[in-house]
Structure 1
């Protein structure tokens, strides 16, 4: 019986919370935070698993969510997200994304990316790409177009992403034991526009489904294709200039350098290039402006093959560039 009580009690309290959250106009932002904290605290009282006495006021809700968020059902979580968007409580949305709480089998993540894009929160869109494993093809296409053709209002959120890359690049230069890590981050930062820094997350994502991504690439317009090709070309040139970073480990040797995980490898870049060629071959070889880019890329690829002998992926890319 003791194992049934927490589940039953949580369900009962969840039902109460749902009733209140279904009418978000009936409470204020501060009342919502109090309501959410109370819900999490009562669950903790039942489980007795967390000592909250040392939590600071500023990070109190975040700490509760990080520890007890797994208890929140999809129906409650969807309403919490709705309230967070209404009151623009971005730090809670960030916590829900980073902790993987929107990765459930239900429909919690539906419209999450679209809502973030509409509000120009590029920083949180990047986190979705990195942490949300069940993104749909429509989400991926929306993100790709958002990063390739951002509105003027989007650059505010994108500047947050650039600041993160700048901060961690400087940190790597000053503290990284392996200086190749600093070179890798400088490669990822220098020469890329603010929106291209956001593209890093998509190209490097371990959650990127090749089939869906290929379909999304096929729906890009001419301007977007050219921007994406030029972005990928920048990476090929950088890897050709700095071949020593191709085999750098981005794992345990770089504590604290979170963005390293979002640096596209040469394999990531060539794979994306291959998808672009597959989907837009005719445009790339027939249009003069595209053909010029492809010819310059072919020279870089040939140098990479000669220097690195990376084999399969680059060889396929060469084959794709030579009809």
Structure 2
């Protein structure tokens, strides 16, 4: 029997697939692993993998699982008739559940329960104890009751799982919550193609009545740009950090100025690690004519920005070192060029029918020519530098180090 077959047999025999839902939370391994002992086999035991005995979860984990099951069953009954559930009753049920969990692990939220931020703070502290089934129900109730701050906390804390992300995205689109859709892109690591496509189409044809919820996105970009300028002009930073702040301020200014509010939302889509070339190509094929033109105008703006500010490049370190998180969400020139290339390659023949496209294409053509000439010049300079480096290496091999510079 091969090792793979042994592993498969051990998994089946242990009943892992049947018992994984019995433990809906992350168990504390510190009190489980030390008690595991290999079961003694007979003289004919030849398998390299042996069953382990002594499996037992802690009383605390057992109590938390029981609390979670009770909470899920209670909330399910309430959600069978959502109209009978009000915000006060739901928050009371949720707070009681979180408080009991906090008692089990000796964690408390030192804020008065009457405070409006009490539930959100409890989620931040105890969210890791909430099971997947419970999270799905909490999301459903929060959407029904329009508890946007609670939803924001759950998303930012990374508690949304893939099985509930699609329903969440579609519900937020129906509710026109552009700000929360941006948070979904930023904090849900496994957003799938249908979710990204829905978000992309939404931002490319944003309804007029959705602008109220997108104002906060513009304010966030504006505050990040002002913070970068403040740090760049401050006197309390070292030269290295000050230079980083100056680079970040130019980058954020470039990403903020000249873009409409919905285009600021698109920054998150095109800077997302979930958006690879295959996903983008599949998404682009599902856009209609007006959405395609909006996308081309957006990408054209980025090309002009990169032409105007060639000295400004990505600076992801500014996010961790200076707190300028928006620097992580500025689309790179590479992404912009690839995206525009995919659009033009697949849809050029149909887009030429739109007169608006002709004007946009002329503007893009001029920028592309300028960038291409700069790229050719950079390639020539790079070749010269590579040859100089080789010459320096050769000189260092033939002459003493102090005389190597004479050869160059």
Q: What's the TM-score, normalizing by structure 1? A: 0.87
Structure 1 CA distance, aligned partners of 2:65 and 2:207?
43
Structure 1 CA distance, aligned partners of 2:169 and 2:333?
27
Highest Rg: 1 or 2? Answer: 2
| Equivalent residue, structure 1, for 2:215 | 159
* Structure-to-structure mapping, 1:1-323, within 5 angstroms: 3-22=57-76, 23-24=78-79, 25=82, 26-48=84-106, 50-53=107-110, 57-102=115-160, 104=161, 107-176=163-232, 177=242, 178-252=245-319, 255-284=322-351, 288-308=355-375
Contact 2:316 2:327 in 1 (8 A): no
Are residues 154 and 252 of structure 1, via their aligned partners in 2, closer, same or farther at CA, if it must alter by over 3 Å? closer
| Equivalent residue, structure 1, for 2:20 | none
Offset at residue 144 of structure 1 (A): 0.9
Alpha-carbon displacement from aligned partner over 1:52-109 (angstroms, at most 9, x marks no partner): 236783432222212221221221111101111122111111111111111x35x121
Instruction: Give the number of equivalent residue pairs.
Output: 308
Alpha-carbon displacement from aligned partner over 1:134-179 (angstroms, at most 9, x marks no partner): 2222211211111111111111111111111122212222223322
Offset at residue 294 of structure 1 (A): 2.7
Offset at residue 287 of structure 1 (A): 5.0
Structure 1 CA distance, aligned partners of 2:368 and 2:213?
34
Larger displacement relative to structure 2 (137-146 or 18-27): 18-27
Are residues 172 and 194 of structure 1, via their aligned partners in 2, closer, same or farther at CA, if it must alter by over 3 Å? same
Are residues 153 and 304 of structure 1, via their aligned partners in 2, closer, same or farther at CA, if it must alter by over 3 Å? same
Q: What's the TM-score, normalizing by structure 2? A: 0.70
Contact 1:147 1:199 in 2 (8 A): yes
Offset at residue 286 of structure 1 (A): 6.1
Contact 1:129 1:201 in 2 (8 A): yes
Contact 1:181 1:250 in 2 (8 A): no
